[in-house]
Structure 1
Amino acid sequence: MSKPPVEPGPTEIIEATTDERKLQTKLASPLPDLTSSKKTFDVYARPFIPYQFKSINGLPAVNYPSEGVTWIEFDDYVRTFAGSAFLPKDSSGGKVEDAAAKLARSELCAENYRYYFTDLLAREVDAARDNCLEYALYNVPIQRARNDPRPFMYWLDVPGLTESTLQIEVGDQVALRQLYGQYAPNAAPYGTTIQYDAVVWGIQRSQGRVTLRIDNLFWQSGLFNVSFSVQPFRIRALHTAVSRSHTCLSDDSGGWLRSMLFPRPADGVMQRALGKGKFDINAFDGLLNYEQLKAVDTIVHSEWGTVPYLISGPPGTGKTKTLIELALQLLRTESDSHLILCAPSDPASDTLTSRLLPHLKPRELLRLHSPSRSFAEVPDSLLPYSCIDNGTFSLPSFADLMRLKIVVVTCRDADILSSARVSNRDLFHLEQGMMAALYPGKKYSGKKNEVKKLHWTALLLDEAAQATEPEAQIPLNVVAPPLREDNRHATTLPLVVMAGDQHQLGPRTSSRIPALQLSLFERLFQRPLYRDHPLARSSGTQPRLTASMLPMVRPPFTNLIRNYRSHAAILAVPSKLFYHDTLEPEALLTDSLLSWSGWRGARWPVHFAVNTAPDEIEQDGGGWYNVREAQMAIVYAHSFLSENLLGQKEICIMSPFAAQVKLLRRLAREAKLWHVNIGPLEAFQGLESRLVILCTTRTRYRFIEQDLAKGLGVVHERRRMNVALTRAKEGLVVIGNDEVLGKDEWWQSWLGFVGRNGLWEEEKGASSQHSFGWGDDESIGRLERRLVMDDHAMRGERPRDAPELGIGRGAESRLWASGVALEKALRSIQLVEEQSSPVHSAEAASKSE
């Protein structure tokens, strides 16, 4: 095992000082007030740091290095199974030519692929350095790590670590300057010419604490300046992946990777007849619905062409569940299959692994972790399926790796497989090189000597909309087949399947460059092959395929439409705004909170409470909070609990502002709400709760532009809004200022929904609520109409001109709707039979993401 590369200390400090001046100049520039022509102060300016502290970091220093964490020695690993003569040289390096760099800012295409993303990644690094400057700490204490048997270990508390706003991992280098001596104007404290290059050896995110190894520390005051830096090895993997893809696109312009990144209608397969009406698979999960089974059946039988198969999965529709079934079916269909399952984050990859555990043994399934991952972050159930060597996560032996059926890994950590030279291309050249050496003079002669199948037969990428395109390139390069003439020896090409939702939060980046935040998944859906297909979700309905529509390109996608999470009233607006009114609520037992005494109007489980109390900012730009809103949220939580409708763990309170989250947690502790889930909005993507209380916090519109520049808030942030509204299962309470929210067209539609149906609680003494398009028939979605009709039916009334509320029109719509009703009835019967079963609750939870 070797150590990961670290950033040179003095150079980084000099760059940081220069970047800091640039950042201060930028932040000092006031932004225009949205409500007047006057200038306003920058509410997000960095806190004032006295010059005597900041100046220390710019002084020349002697670097004291610390021992790094152990790492995988890839050259040694490769030598255990192959000689370098049989593996192709890596041609992904080299500088970007100046002339070619001019292509970087043009529209993305195969010809400028490398230059386009090299430019974006360079700008991302600049933004990441600015971010490191914002999180630099001055005059903070470091304490010895108590009860840690390892030598030279210390604890450092880092603000922002709990919410993962600071990117830091085990193995990262952190620069420390100890402060001591007497301070005087223009005089540096004694001893600050020493810089300790500490190394992160452990991370406790829940406590906001990192464990540092600091060698040769001469303890004086215990107070330090702390500087973080961008770790070059983390960016290098992205550059390498993009360069490899560019080489592939250049050398094999009509090949497999081109059809994965730039698919055309001609890459698809024409469908000339309707399907047989049944699926040729025996499902492992008996609760899969029609759309999920259709996706699995189509993929297993490879009937869509050499393009990525995309599964569009809105919240709670079971896209992860579909991928798990697909993986198991691929293994059943082809016993010699070897799959890579990826997700952008460790928690999402852990979820994939957990769902595979009942079906696979440790010798068949590997959860591959980076050596930089902390053991405390890994669920205990996954450790038997992980490779641990000398107290660090590592790779299994080559023979054991080749026997595995499934490897689950994050997109970025898939670089471990590339660095270990076990990609499809490397394994192919290894086999052919050794065969040529063992049997010189022999050539390929048709099927007799051809390779039957590449080792990695499929890549399944979950939560694909949250990965940047360079991140997605890493696993794509692992499964990519050989180039050009070598392709003739591979009888089958790898399958690529992506599941995600481009209408929720996308990739998290330091820079807010739209081109980098556009995931490969979303970009593919913008290609004509997917966007213009007659069965695309964007058509505004979810049509059924009929003979009159044929022939056409077989759809290389599936739109999941059945939501197993939320009450119809909670889904009504998100379905209309973000999913072309196609969602169908299928969740059972979502009416359990309807007896709460606080529901208004139609008494659906959606409630809007107006709060116009001013938002406030912490001293020195620490963040926004709203005292009255926080108090209201705690009162609502107490109200549900006092009526014995649910437990504390079933309540979630979220806000898009970290300072408000901190205030909410303090008030919750004072109210003895120890187990209520409180956190930032981003932390709840992919999660769900019986009751969600959303604190929008912002009540003054003049600061919205600065919120947008920082990527904060929920106003004019439709993806954040979508995530916030779709976490709730049985009850949703939103607290906010209707005048501020109403300036956003997306929120205006939601306010119209709550206003039309009386789900609105005005402040005491305030006038009646505003009319946000309440009479606009176009703003009323299918689910809202259905809810209104159900209310009329309960009262024995029938509205005039009652519209068809199924998907589609006419007899086909009625047939489809009757099928939905039958499915609900069958599920209800099954639920009654299973309620006494101890596994019932676990199965019900698995229906959603």
Structure 2
Amino acid sequence: MTCAGRSASSSCGVCSPSSGPLQTTRCRLPAADYALLKAKGPYKRPIFVPHEPDPKAIPTAHPPTWSKVRWAVKLPEFPVPERLAKALNVVDRQRSEAQIRAQFLPGDFNAETYSSFLSTLLHIEEYQQSVNLARYNLSSVPLHQERTGRYRLYIRGLTEGKPSLLVGDKLLVCKYAEQIWHEAIVHEVRFQEVILYINSTFKLRSSGDLIDVRFQLNRMPWRRRQQAVTLNVNQPRFLFPTAQDTSTLHRPTAADIDAFDFGDESLIDNQEQKTIVAAIANAPPASVPFVVFGPPGTGKTVTLVEAALQILWNDPTARLLMCAPTNDAADLLAFKMMDLGPSHLFRLNAIWRPIKSTLQVILKEFCLINGNRVYAIPEVEALKKFRVIVTTCVSAAVPYSLGISRGWFTHVFLDEAGQCSEPDSMIPLKLIAGPETNVVLAGDIKQLGPVIHSSIGRDLGLRSSYMERLSSRPIYDLETYRGITIMKLIKHFRSHPAIISYSNRRFYANELLPCGDPAITHSMLRSVVLDGLNPEFPIVFHGIAGRDEQEEGSPSYFNIAEASLVAQYCDELISDRKVPITAKDIGVISPYTAQCRKIRALLDRSSVRMEGLKVGTTEEFQGQERRVIILSTARSNPAHAIGDMHRRLGFVGDAQRFNVAITRARALLIVVGDPGVLTLDPVWKEFLAYVQSNGGWRGKGLHRNNLNSDDEDTAQDAVRQETKELIERIQSLNFGNANGWAVPNPDNLGPEPDEEAYDDRPMTMDD
């Protein structure tokens, strides 16, 4: 098999050997690659089985390595209501959504209905994630006893986060063919095994006896979200601000800006960054949230940190809570503020978070770690001594639960706010911010938003971040309120001008100004990868006609021809003597976890050193950059691509995912895909026309008219308009009111799109 369905090791037939010296090798699929990556067995779509509630189980104590915490505020359980669970536990998704709209959601979304509305959406998403986790339940698997109460369980897929387990997570175990369930607590996570502690009433006849296993969702984050959204404190200036709330604000003047002594010298020539710092630092208490709109590579986090430092230097009474949706982003915030010293800065971690990254080791003196080398939570009086606390959005509930009153912190900063679901954003805003606390949001609503698993939850509004909803209100209009309530950063420091050019025009009103260091951004122009192409244009689109497949055990898609081609590009880049780079300089992105697995398998087999080369999904790369980025789009079946639009997976039909993917590269962007499928999407079609017109195309091509957006042929215009309308209708998922349209049911999609999506979305934002 080859990328065009020919015999192994033969040419794919879509590329001209004369189009470049490396062309003849890149379009072959070696037999060894096919043998390594071929499907293990056919994928069988699971039959819908009603989700069963968890059985009662004999409890087991938490890990003894955890330090005890004295909570001052009780955290309620907030179980998913039985009636709502019953409405969700059906195969007909449309009927379920209609019932929820009619029976569980208020008719309007306003300050009075805010809590009940978001609480219901949270229950819907929690229920779906429980269903997804249950897909990994095990039946009749061996459990090995190491000593009394301590057991070892092998879990296939653990290394890939399928399922994702942390110390302290609960499993339910039952001896095979019996009905007595016991809680098992994860005490250690190894490569493909977990060490479990189970109460003394659980006994095996012999090590290796068979058991059934049910994985349990960690409900602590869900309970904290519910605690926040249901708290009977809904400040209008946060939730639904109006022009009246801006009466005390003004755009910073030149004198306002000149009054600051900027600690970061890189801000001296950046008017937008200085304006943001002045606006945030000078804002009177009880202001509306200030929004920092930070497109890729514009120094958003640097600006946020400078604003925080200016507040601390100019106001000795200021106390800051700085949050981010993920631990990595929170670690980066803390790292950039380390000069404050461990007496002023504290990095608050969840007690179940493992210590494994380099940045975590660097930040050790800014954390509390007990004698068991496990994160711990300080006593409330100790925590109140710090001027700055950095944590994740979910762990921002800890100060409130310890008894720190709302309003203790004068400022709340939320970085990467575009990735936060609204309930996650409400944890620091509703539990921490008081009547005079000022809030700052920084992010980019043109990139990926929150990861939401429930298609019903997405349809009902959970897919939009708090920052996105706020930015749509009139007082955040950039033309009118620039510098008052919102500011857009426009100096772009990451990429070669050609790499950022298309996103700049499409998503950022062509306002971004490339300011990157040419020693980096132009460093790949002599690469062998550009041989035969425009040597001044560091974007390559390699057209290839592969086949997207699934295999036993996962609904995620992979494309062997593309994976093989990506691996060959990696080999060539690392072996390139003209432009020497290392594996750490390269990132490979695909929207499908199965494709990522296949690419890793090929790279692991390579004779070239690949240590440090990251392969991951788009979500894993948001906020990151590499000197070289290779994208594998994986899709070669138009019907499958339309299915992706339905589920908001992949690159086709999802402009935010597309934008993230093509803006990670600093000096070279390589895209591997099937142009016949990608051009179904108007955004991709326009991007491919941009690449072709600049001489960056190789491999399978399309007739120029297929990419010519100026084609005046009436028939072409009609087809283009019809395709656009079809995509819009699929994206809106408004199938019940399609005005006579017969929307296709690609890939034999059933009524529940979540069924096919769970394997390509992270389980949760980490905490």
* TM-score band, normalised by shorter chain: 0.7 to 0.9
Relative to structure 1, is the Cα distance of residues 137 and 713 closer, same or farther in structure 2, using a 3 angstrom cutoff?
farther
Shift of 1:736: 0.4
Q: In structure 1, what is the equivalent of residue 240 of structure 2?
A: 262
Describe how 1:2-81 pairs up with structure 2 within 5 A: 46=45, 63-69=57-63, 76=70, 78=72
Amino acid at match of 1:157: I
CA distance in 1, matches of 2:564, 2:80: 56
Query: Does the alignment pair 1:243 with 2:222?
Result: no
Q: In structure 2, what is the equivalent of residue 548 of structure 1?
A: none
CA contact (8 A) 1:715 1:741 kept: yes
CA distance in 1, matches of 2:214, 2:640: 30
Q: Secondary structure at the match of 1:607?
A: strand
**Cα RMSD over matched residues?**
3.4
Shift of 1:234: 2.9
Shift of 1:375: 2.9
CA distance in 1, matches of 2:313, 2:677: 55
Match of 1:284 among 254, 263, 266: 263
Match of 2:610 among 657, 674, 681: 674
CA distance in 2, matches of 1:140, 1:592: 53
CA distance in 2, matches of 1:65, 1:193: 15
Amino acid at match of 1:598: V
Which segments of 5 or more consecutive residues in structure 1 lack a partner in the other structure? 1-42, 79-86, 180-188, 250-256, 425-453, 483-492, 537-553, 778-849
Which is worse superposed, 665-674 or 61-70?
A: 61-70
Q: In structure 1, what is the equivalent of residue 655 of structure 2?
A: 718
Match of 2:316 among 323, 335, 339: 335
Q: In structure 1, what is the equivalent of residue 764 of structure 2?
A: none
Query: Does the alignment pair 1:365 with 2:301?
Result: no
Shift of 1:109: 1.0
Amino acid at match of 1:523: R
Match of 2:570 among 618, 637, 640: 637
Which is worse superposed, 564-573 or 232-241?
A: 232-241
Cα deviations by residue, 1:780-818 (Å, 9 ceiling, x for unpaired): xxxxxxxxxxxxxxxxxxxxxxxxxxxxxxxxxxxxxxx
Cα deviations by residue, 1:640-661 (Å, 9 ceiling, x for unpaired): 2222321111111121111111
Q: In structure 2, what is the equivalent of residue 574 of structure 1?
A: 503
Shift of 1:524: 0.5
Relative to structure 1, is the Cα distance of residues 157 and 735 closer, same or farther in structure 2, using a 3 angstrom cutoff?
same
- The one of the two structures with greater contact order (alpha-carbon pairs below 8 A, sep at least 6) is 2
Relative to structure 1, is the Cα distance of residues 144 and 379 closer, same or farther in structure 2, using a 3 angstrom cutoff?
farther
CA distance in 1, matches of 2:80, 2:562: 53
CA distance in 2, matches of 1:324, 1:274: 21
Q: In structure 1, what is the equivalent of residue 395 of structure 2?
A: 413
Amino acid at match of 1:558: M
CA distance in 1, matches of 2:193, 2:207: 22
Query: Does the alignment pair 1:731 with 2:668?
Result: yes
Q: Secondary structure at the match of 2:688?
A: helix
Shift of 1:336: 2.0
Q: In structure 2, what is the equivalent of residue 214 of structure 1?
A: 198
CA contact (8 A) 2:537 2:695 kept: no
Describe how 1:392-791 pairs up with structure 2 within 5 A: 392-424=374-406, 455-481=408-434, 493-512=436-455, 513-514=457-458, 515-531=461-477, 533-534=479-480, 555-588=484-517, 589=519, 590-599=521-530, 600-601=533-534, 603-644=536-577, 645=579, 646-672=581-607, 673-675=609-611, 676-763=613-700, 768=703, 771-775=706-710
Shift of 1:528: 0.8
Amino acid at match of 1:751: L
Shift of 1:773: 3.1
Relative to structure 1, is the Cα distance of residues 279 and 234 closer, same or farther in structure 2, using a 3 angstrom cutoff?
same
Shift of 1:108: 2.0
CA distance in 2, matches of 1:137, 1:738: 41
Shift of 1:503: 1.4
Amino acid at match of 2:244: A
CA distance in 2, matches of 1:697, 1:615: 6
Match of 1:226 among 213, 232, 235: 213
Shift of 1:621: 4.3
Shift of 1:458: 0.5
Aligned residues: 635
CA distance in 1, matches of 2:642, 2:632: 19
Which segments of 5 or more consecutive residues in structure 2 lack a partner in the other structure? 1-41, 85-99, 713-767
Cα deviations by residue, 1:390-416 (Å, 9 ceiling, x for unpaired): 534333233322221101111111111
Relative to structure 1, is the Cα distance of residues 658 and 770 closer, same or farther in structure 2, using a 3 angstrom cutoff?
farther
TM-score normalised by L of structure 2:
0.76
Amino acid at match of 2:218: Q
Q: Secondary structure at the match of 1:340?
A: strand
Cα deviations by residue, 1:419-476 (Å, 9 ceiling, x for unpaired): 111033xxxxxxxxxxxxxxxxxxxxxxxxxxxxx53110011111111111111111
Shift of 1:114: 1.1
Shift of 1:318: 1.1
Relative to structure 1, is the Cα distance of residues 776 and 105 closer, same or farther in structure 2, using a 3 angstrom cutoff?
farther
CA distance in 2, matches of 1:203, 1:758: 49
CA contact (8 A) 1:755 1:774 kept: no
Amino acid at match of 1:280: A
Q: In structure 1, what is the equivalent of residue 170 of structure 2?
A: 173
Match of 1:388 among 366, 369, 390: 369
CA contact (8 A) 1:158 1:210 kept: no
CA distance in 2, matches of 1:561, 1:304: 28
CA distance in 1, matches of 2:161, 2:473: 33
CA contact (8 A) 1:63 1:196 kept: yes
CA distance in 2, matches of 1:61, 1:311: 47
CA distance in 1, matches of 2:515, 2:162: 35
Cα deviations by residue, 1:521-546 (Å, 9 ceiling, x for unpaired): 1111011111364366xxxxxxxxxx
Relative to structure 1, is the Cα distance of residues 410 and 208 closer, same or farther in structure 2, using a 3 angstrom cutoff?
farther
Amino acid at match of 2:132: N
Shift of 1:602: 6.0
Amino acid at match of 1:696: T
Amino acid at match of 2:665: A
Q: Secondary structure at the match of 1:598?
A: helix
Q: Secondary structure at the match of 1:743?
A: coil
**Percentage of pairs with the same residue:** 29
Q: Secondary structure at the match of 2:112?
A: coil
CA distance in 2, matches of 1:474, 1:284: 31
CA distance in 2, matches of 1:304, 1:560: 24
CA distance in 2, matches of 1:295, 1:692: 31
TM-score normalised by L of structure 1:
0.69
